[in-house]
Chains A and B, each alone.
Chain A
Amino acid sequence: MAELTAGILLSRTGETAMRVVEAPMNAIERLFGRKRMPWLFLAPNLILFGIFTFLPIAIAVGYAFTGGTNLFVSDRPFVGLDNFRTLLSCGNYLQPGTCQESLFWTAVWNTLWFVAFNVVATLLVALITALILNRAIFARGFFRAMFFYPVLLSPVVIGLIWKWFLDRNGLLNAFFQMLGVPPEIFLLDVGWSRFFVVVVSVWFHMGFYTLILLAGLQAIPKDLYEAASIDAASPRRTLFRITLPLLAPNLLVVFILLMIKSVQIFDEAWVLTNGGGPGTANSFIVQYIYQMAFGSDLRLFGLASAASVLMGLVLLVLTLIQLRLGKRMES
Chain B
Amino acid sequence: MSPISFLSRTRRAGRIDITDILSWVWLLGGTFAVLVPVVWAGLSSLKPAAEITRFPPSLLPRAALEQTVPGFDKPLSLWNVTIDSQQREMAMVRRIGLKAQMVDPANPGQPVGVDVKGITPVQQLTVATENYTDPLTRFNFLTFLKNSVFVTVVATLLTLIVNAMAAFALSKYKFRGDTTVFVIIISTLMIPLAVVMVPAYLVIVGVGLADNLWGVILPTVASPTAVFLLRQYMLTIPDELIEAARVDAASEFCIFWRIILPLTAPALAVLAIFSVLWRWNDFLWPLIVLNSRENFTLQVGLNAFQGEFSVQWHYILAMTFLSLLPVTVVFLFLQKYITTGIAGTGMK
Contacts and interface: CB of A to CB of B under 8 A. Distances in A.
A and B: real partners? yes
A137 B27 contact: yes
A22 B259 CA distance: 13
Nearest to B210: A71
A109 B201 CA distance: 27
Contacts of B56: 174, 177-178
B335 A148 contact: yes
Contact of B253 (A29, A136, A150, A264): A29
B178 interface: yes
A148 B194 contact: no
B165 interface: yes
Contacts of A266: 194, 284
B168 A41 contact: yes
A160 B175 contact: no
A301 B277 CA distance: 30
Contact of A161 (B41, B166, B191): B41
Given A73-B202, A135-B11, A174 B55 contact: yes
A63 B207 CA distance: 18
A160 B316 contact: yes
- Classify chain A: how many residues form its interface, as a range: 35 or more
B203 A57 contact: no
Interface string A277-307: 0000000011001100110000001001100
B196 interface: yes
Contacts of B188: 49, 53-54, 57
A160 B197 CA distance: 25
A181 B178 CA distance: 65
A41 B166 contact: yes
B299 interface: yes
Interface string A205-242: 00010011011000000000100000000111011000
B87 to A, nearest CB: 29
Given A71-B205, A154-B323, A319-B190, A235 B166 contact: no
B281 A154 contact: yes
Contacts of B306: 160, 163, 271
A308 interface: yes
B107 interface: no
Contact of B7 (A128, A225, A274, A293): A128
A157 B173 contact: no
A164 B277 CA distance: 24
Nearest to A199: B33
Interface stretch (A3-11, A31-39, A84-92): A31-39
Contacts of A55: 199, 203
Contacts of B26: 128-129, 132
A82 B201 CA distance: 22
B320 A290 contact: no
A308 B194 CA distance: 7
Contacts of B191: 53, 57, 312, 315
Given A146-B31, A235-B8, A169 B202 contact: no
Nearest to B4: A236
Given A60-B198, A136-B10, A53 B166 contact: no
Contacts of B344: 215
A45 to B, nearest CB: 4
B30 A171 contact: no
Contacts of A162: 37
Interface in B73-97: none
Interface string B148-160: 0000000000000
Interface of B: 2, 4-5, 7-11, 20, 23-24, 26-27, 30-31, 33-38, 40-41, 44, 53-57, 161-163, 165-166, 168-170, 173, 175, 178, 181, 184-185, 188, 190-192, 194-203, 205-207, 218-219, 221-222, 227, 251-254, 256-258, 277, 280-281, 283-284, 287-288, 299, 302-303, 306-307, 313, 316-317, 320, 323-324, 327-328, 330-331, 335-336, 338-339, 342-344, 346, 348
25 contacts: A35-B175, A38-B175, A41-B165, A45-B227, A53-B191, A53-B219, A59-B203, A63-B198, A71-B202, A72-B206, A129-B27, A131-B7, A154-B323, A157-B302, A165-B36, A236-B2, A267-B283, A267-B284, A271-B306, A289-B194, A293-B197, A293-B198, A294-B201, A301-B202, A309-B195
